[in-house]
Each structure stands twice: as structure tokens, then as C-alpha cells.
Amino acid sequence: MNYQQVLETIKDRIDIVDLVSERVPLKRRGRNFVGLCPFHVEKTPSFTVSPEKQMFYCFGCGAGGDAITFWMKIENLDFNDAVKDLADRLGIELPKKAPRGSSKWETYHAINRAVKDYFRDVLLENQRGKTALAYLKKRGLSQETIRTFELGFAPGNYGLSEYLEKRGYDPQDATALGLLKKVSEKTFVPVFRNRIIFPIIDERGRTVGFGGRALGDAQPKYLNTPDSMIFQKGKLFYGEVQTKREIARGRKAVLVEGYLDLISLYQLGIKNGIAALGTAFTDFHAKRLKRWADQVVMLFDGDPAGYKASSRALERLIRAGLLAYQGVLPEGKDPGDYLTPPDAEALKEVIATAEDAVLFRVRRSVETEGEEKDIKDREERVKEGLGFLRLIRDPVRLDLYVKEACEILGLKREILYDIIENSERKYNSAHNDYPNRSGGNPRNGGPWARKGTQRPYLPGKQMEDAEEVLLVSLMQCPELSHEMKKGDVLGMFRNAALRSLGKNLLSEIETRGTVDASRLTHQLGGEEQALLSRLLIGAHQMREDQIRKAFSDGLRILYQRNYKEEISKLDAEIRETEKSGNFEQTIALLKRREAVKKNYQNLIQHHKSR
């Protein structure tokens, strides 16, 4: 079985509804299934799965594709690994030879492996790493811990470029990975210089990126490789290879901010720590963590910035359905400061006695520091503390929180529920997060979706709708490709993504005589792929006469727009020539205007008669 046959077999044997249901609770709605999108936070379901078309699309964030695309996104895998995962589930043996196009992925991973080895060897076996190694040991890290996390050191010289070239790697590839920077036609210099290096390993054990901490006063203090084909820092944790199994075993994680924080916990025997990659803790992080844990202790730096960061993380943890606890460190302290034996026990005690993070904020809202606050200030702090309760969707859990909050604040339950409802209204207003927002929004609901309905004919309000309708008509009736080509219809499209998708559809029809959406999906870029999914899910199957009527209406609107624009332009030119007294040029422009008008009338008449 060749690789293409494997893809076809996977698509034939995996039902997308069953696959998505493993990660997203779905409910049937008409011909489709809907649920809360796993790729962004929402309250009203806008994530749609079509069993008929074997596609998914989120009308909230625009994610879309087929079963393989879903598995890539939900598991944070590249295409080849997603195919391997799904093939293994079905007991399908993959061909030994990788498909064409996978070589770039392999090259990037190979470069990162080589660079990791280079940095590690400099730290542990080279005189140039002596200062960095001394710094790490002074921080309390053991040789075993340094080797476990494969720490390294980027020296201040330009040796990395030469090292890679000697091993046959193209410096342009290393530049794409953010490891080298091109400074002249043939000169590349390292991005990381005089920095301790933290290799970033994905869940499959592959080195996908690097973090670097400056030695000395260089800025920025921390530097990460940029996102690339193989690395998205907003979707990965640091240390997950070492700690994921322990987190899953106890269903509990300790969330910290930095590389050294995580490594310090691990050396202390706290092996269920996890850290984001120097970025804000994202919704994707929270949902991914939910796969391994039910409880999370937030152990952030003990300063105002650390508290704010933990509050932002708390929102995302609650939305993901995780129970969150607040570990409180003294101001100016971080987990990396607790590596000596007496301090280690103190840190373990902080984790063991962490307070529920929501109630911690409610309690903190009524505590005053220094001089007494006025009533208005105290009122705002109470409302801020209670604001987190609006995120809790489980009614039993919410009621328990309200009961505890009433005791802390000395307020009646009715008052607390009013505050929570007002907080939710303010949040919804600020984020335009109203019920049914995707169902009633013509831009989100597909070319014929209006207030949750689907129409076979063009509403005629927005030009982008006309372009979408033409493409949907083309997919359902490939014979219309002749009409599209004959009038250079795509040349009139204003939406570049729709125009590009249209070209791919015409090419598919020319090659195969029809549109195989599932096959086409993986030939498209991310935006076009999601666009194809939305158009397929957003419109229903029509009779041929309805398709041709919709296509004709779409053409009419495009022709009308072009006609109005051309006439407007000619009228402006005519006014200018009249002002300048150029009689001959004015006559020529008037004749051209009449020709444009006649051509437009002929086009409209032609489409009326069809």
C-alpha cells in the first residue's frame, strides 16, 4: 500500500464524528453535530462537524479541515505524525519511504538535534562553558539534573555556523529555525551568544526549539527561538517529556513560570511540574493540561507581576474545567530559590497547603494592606475577586463557591449572584460574546446562513457572499468551471483567499473532473483549508437548477460591481477632460463609457436568458 492509499484508507475507515467525540462532547443539530470549540474559548457552541462531508469547521475561530487536520491540531502534531497515529489506531502499516515533501521537516529536526548536541558539549566538555557550568552549580543544579534536561551553553563566538556547515546543513535552514542570522551574502552569525541553553522537547522527544538565558546583563534576559514549521511556543510546555507521566499518574500539576523554576522542582523531587515557554499561559495550554490533570497548583513568583500572571492563568484553567490552587511565595522569591534542603521542605509545604485559587482571591479582596481603603475601593476589590466565579459553569460547584464566599464577605447569596451576573454581562459586552453570535452572523455562518438558517439563493448584501456562492456552486456543479474560466470570473474576486481557493478548485476539476474535498484539503494552506471547510459545511446540497440560479446571481452581482466601478472611474476622467477643454478626449471617453454600459447590459441579458 503506497502513502496515498494509506491516506485514502484512513479517511474511509475513520468517522470524523467518532474521532472528534473523543475530545469534544457533541450534540446533533440537524444534519451536523455541534460542540464547544477545543481550539478557542467560547460559551456558545460554534464548532460544527459534518458526518456527510467528513469535515469540521468552527464558525468562531475559523479552524477547519478533515479528520487528519483535526488530529494534527488537537494533538499538536505535524502531518506525517498525525497520519502515523491514525494509521496505528487502524492497524494500517505505513510504507517505509516517507512521502515527498517530508524532507524539510526531517532536516529541521536533524539541525535542532545537532545544535542541541553542540550546545551541550560546549557546556560540559569545553573550556568555553566553564563559567556557565559554574553558574548553574551555584544555583544548586546537580550534574545529573543538567544532563536530564540536556542543558547547554551558546558561546560568544561564531562557531555554530561553521559547525553546521561542516555537517552539511544549509545555513538558510538554520536561519529559518531562528538559530542563525544572515548579515551578508555569505555570512551567518549565531542568534544565541553567551547564553545558557534550554532545549525545548516536544511530547515525542524531538528537539523543536531552544530557550536561552543571558549570562550577565545582556537583554533580553530570556530569548526563545521563533515559531517555525516544527515549533509553536504557544502550544508547548517546557519539561513535559520529563514530567507528563507523573502529572497523569496523580492527575495533579504544579504550574510555574520559567525554565529554572521547573528544573528546580524536578531536582527537589517534585516531578509533576510544568511550565509555559516564556509566554503567557494560553487557552491551548489549559486544554492540553486538562488531558493529564484535574488539579493545578499555580506557583508563580511572589511579586505583583507574578500575582497578575497567575490571575490570567486562573481564567484559562477555570474555563478548561480544572481546579486551581494558589501557592503563595514570599515577595521576591521564585521556586529556583529553594534548592537547599531546609528551603526545599518549605517549598513542598507551600505546595501542599495551597489554597483554592478562587477563594484566595475572594479572601484577598477584603484584606487591606497598610492604611484602610475607602468603601468604593473595597467594593471594586470585592467585585474583582468575585469576577472569577462568572467562569464556573458547573452549577453545583458554583453554589459551593458562593456559599464559601458569603461566609468570607458577610454578604447575602442574592447579592453575590447579582454581582456575578453583572460581571458576566460586562465581560460579554467587552468581548461581543453573546448567545447565538455565530449563528446569526452572516460573516461566520457561511454564504447562505442567516439567523441560523440556510438559503439556496444569494442574499445580495455583501460582495464576499457573492464570491463564496460562486465557489460553492462550482463545487456542487463542476460543469460551471467553463463559465468561470470564460469570463475570467476569478479575476473579479477581491478576497485573495477566495481567489486562490477558486484557482485550486478549477485545477482540481481540470485534472479529475470533480472536486474531492478530502484530497484537496491537504494541498491547501491553512487559511484556504479552513475556508474550504466553512463553505462545505455552511451550505447545503441543492438541485442543479438552484445551483445554476445561485451561480447566475453571483455573477450578476460581480458584473454589477465591476460596471459601477468602471463607470465611476470614467465619469471622473470625463469631468477632468471637460475642465481642461480637451474636447476630443472627452468624446473618446464618452464612447468608451457607452461601450462599457452596452457590454454590461449584454452580460446581464445573457445571464437572464440562461
What is d(CA 90, CA 71) in angstroms, rounded to the nearest whole number? 14
| Backbone dihedral region for residue 140 (phi beyond 0: left; psi -120 to 50: alpha; all else: beta) | left
Predicted pLDDT at 145: 96
Predicted pLDDT at 610: 56
| Average pLDDT for 43-64 | 88
Share of residues in the chain with pLDDT > 90 (%) = 31
What is d(CA 364, CA 357) in angstroms, rounded to the nearest whole number? 10
- Cα four-point dihedral sign 257, 262, 268, 270: positive
What is d(CA 33, CA 17) in angstroms, rounded to the nearest whole number? 8
Tell me the per-residue pLDDT of 96-111, one tens digit each, with 9 for 90 and over. Answer: 654 444 468 889 999 9
What is d(CA 587, CA 219) in angstroms, rounded to the nearest whole number? 67
Fold of 449-609: DNAb Helicase; Chain A (1.10.860)
Predicted pLDDT at 606: 63
Predicted pLDDT at 291: 82
What is d(CA 477, CA 544) in angstroms, rounded to the nearest whole number? 7
Residue 458 scores a pLDDT above 50: no
How far does Cα 433 stand from its chain's mean position?
Answer: 19
Stated as kind and residue range, the H or E segment containing 187 is strand 187-190
Q: How far is CA 383 from CA 93, 413, 533, in A?
A: 58, 14, 42
> At a CB cut-off of 8 Å and minimum separation 6, what does 109 contact?
206, 207, 208, 230
Predicted pLDDT at 452: 36
CB count, 10 Å around CB of 536?
22
Predicted pLDDT at 608: 60
Pick the CATH number of 3-90 from 3.40.50.300, 3.90.580.10, 3.40.1030.10, 3.20.20.70: 3.90.580.10
Cell numbers linked to 554? 453571483
* Contact predicate 19/54, CB 8 Å: no
Predicted pLDDT at 448: 37
Tell me the per-residue pLDDT of 124-141, one tens digit each, with 9 for 90 and over. Answer: 999 999 999 999 999 889
What is d(CA 199, CA 152) in angstroms, rounded to the nearest whole number? 8
Predicted pLDDT at 539: 65
Q: Tell me the β-bridge partners of 480.
A: none
How far does Cα 178 stand from its chain's mean position?
Answer: 20
Q: What is the dihedral of CA 366, 367, 369, 371, to 10 degrees?
A: 60
- Could you tell me which of 386, 338, 538, 525 has the C-alpha nearest to residue 447? 538
Residue 464 scores a pLDDT above 60: no
Cell numbers linked to 246? 507523573
The lowest-confidence range among 155-164, 194-203, 373-382 is 373-382
What is d(CA 87, CA 83) in angstroms, rounded to the nearest whole number? 6
- Could you tell me which of 518, 538, 540, 539 has the C-alpha nearest to residue 529? 518
How many residues can be counted in the chain? Answer: 610
- Could you tell me which of 277, 312, 279, 272 has the C-alpha nearest to residue 295? 272
What is d(CA 230, CA 232) in angstroms, rounded to the nearest whole number? 7
Cell numbers linked to 286? 489549559
| Average pLDDT for 569-573 | 88
> At a CB cut-off of 8 Å and minimum separation 6, what does 15 contact?
51, 54
Predicted pLDDT at 435: 35
Tell me the per-residue pLDDT of 72-95, one tens digit each, with 9 for 90 and over. Answer: 888 878 788 888 889 888 888 877
Fold of 103-231: DNA primase DNAg catalytic core, N-terminal domain (3.90.980)
Residue 253 scores a pLDDT above 90: yes
* Contact predicate 40/51, CB 8 Å: no
Tell me the per-residue pLDDT of 499-523, one tens digit each, with 9 for 90 and over. Answer: 888 888 888 888 878 787 767 776 7
Q: Which residue has the higher pLDDT, 246 or 424?
A: 246
Reported pTM: 0.62
Cell numbers linked to 578? 471637460
Cell numbers linked to 30? 440537524
Tell me if the domain spanning 239-353 has CATH number 3.40.50.720.
no
Measured CA angle at 561 (ends 559, 567), to 5 deg: 100
- The rounded radius of gyration (Å) of the Cα atoms in the chain is 30
Predicted pLDDT at 117: 96
Three-class secondary structure of residue 539 per DSSP: coil
Stated as kind and residue range, the H or E segment containing 55 is strand 55-58
What is d(CA 438, CA 43) in angstroms, rounded to the nearest whole number? 11
Burial 252-261 (b: 16+ CB within 10 A, else e): bbbbbbbbbb
> 23-27, 120-124, 442-446, 530-534 — which one is most confidently predicted on average?
120-124
Q: What is the mean pLDDT of the chain?
A: 83
Residue 455 scores a pLDDT above 70: no
- Could you tell me which of 230, 239, 265 has the C-alpha nearest to residue 78? 230
> 154-163, 329-338, 376-385 — which one is most confidently predicted on average?
154-163
- Concatenate the DSSP letters of all residues of 396-462 into one string: HHHHHHHHHHHHHHT--HHHHHHHHHHHHHHHHHHHT--TTTTTT-TTTS-TTEETTEE-SS---S-
Tell me the per-residue pLDDT of 176-201, one tens digit each, with 9 for 90 and over. Answer: 999 999 999 889 999 999 999 999 99
CB count, 10 Å around CB of 249?
11
Q: Tell me the β-bridge partners of 146.
A: none
- Cα four-point dihedral sign 499, 505, 509, 510: positive
Helix and strand element counts for the chain (H, E): 25, 19
Tell me the per-residue pLDDT of 387-441, one tens digit each, with 9 for 90 and over. Answer: 888 888 778 888 899 999 999 988 888 888 888 888 777 766 555 443 333 333 3
Q: How confident is the model at residue 461 (pLDDT cuts 50, 70, 90)?
A: very low
Strands, E assignment, 529-587 = none
Predicted pLDDT at 178: 95
Burial 363-401 (b: 16+ CB within 10 A, else e): bbbeeeeeeeeeeeeeeebbeebbbbbbbbeeeeebeeb
Residue 63 scores a pLDDT above 80: yes
Q: Which residue has the higher pLDDT, 323 or 466?
A: 323
* Contact predicate 465/558, CB 8 Å: no
DSSP 488: T
The residue ranges of every structural domain in the chain are 3-90, 103-231, 239-353, 449-609
